[in-house]
Amino acid sequence: MAKTNPGQFIREVRQEVSKVTWPTRKETMVTTGMVFIMVFLAATFFFLVDQVLSVVVRFVLGFGG
């Protein structure tokens, strides 16, 4: 592996960072909103599944004991 001096490393890092396509403020806000919506939907789904499984387990254990 070739060794790189710190100055060359910094130049290469800056060159690579300049190639990055940074999102706009609007894109960031829309993406953040979508993440919050998906988290809410997933939390709701798992809450409902947990409630249904809880009822089923109580039913099974209630008649089993």
**pLDDT, tens digit (0-9, with 9 covering 90-100), for 31-50:** 999 999 999 999 999 999 99
At residue 21, φ and ψ (nearest 5 deg) are -95, 105
47 or 61: which leads in pLDDT: 47
Q: What is the mean pLDDT of residues 47-61?
A: 93
Mean pLDDT of 52-57: 92
Provide the total of helices (H) and of strands (E) in the chain, helices listed first: 2, 0
Between CA 25 and CA 32 the distance in angstroms is: 11
Identify the pLDDT of residue 63: 62
pLDDT of residue 54 exceeding 80, the answer is yes
**Can you give the pLDDT at residue 65?**
44
Is 0.75 surpassed by the pTM of this model? Answer: no
- At 16 the three-state DSSP class reads helix
Using CA atoms, how far apart are residues 6 and 4, in angstroms rounded to an integer? 6
Count Cα neighbours of 5 within 13 Å in the Cβ-side half-sphere: 2
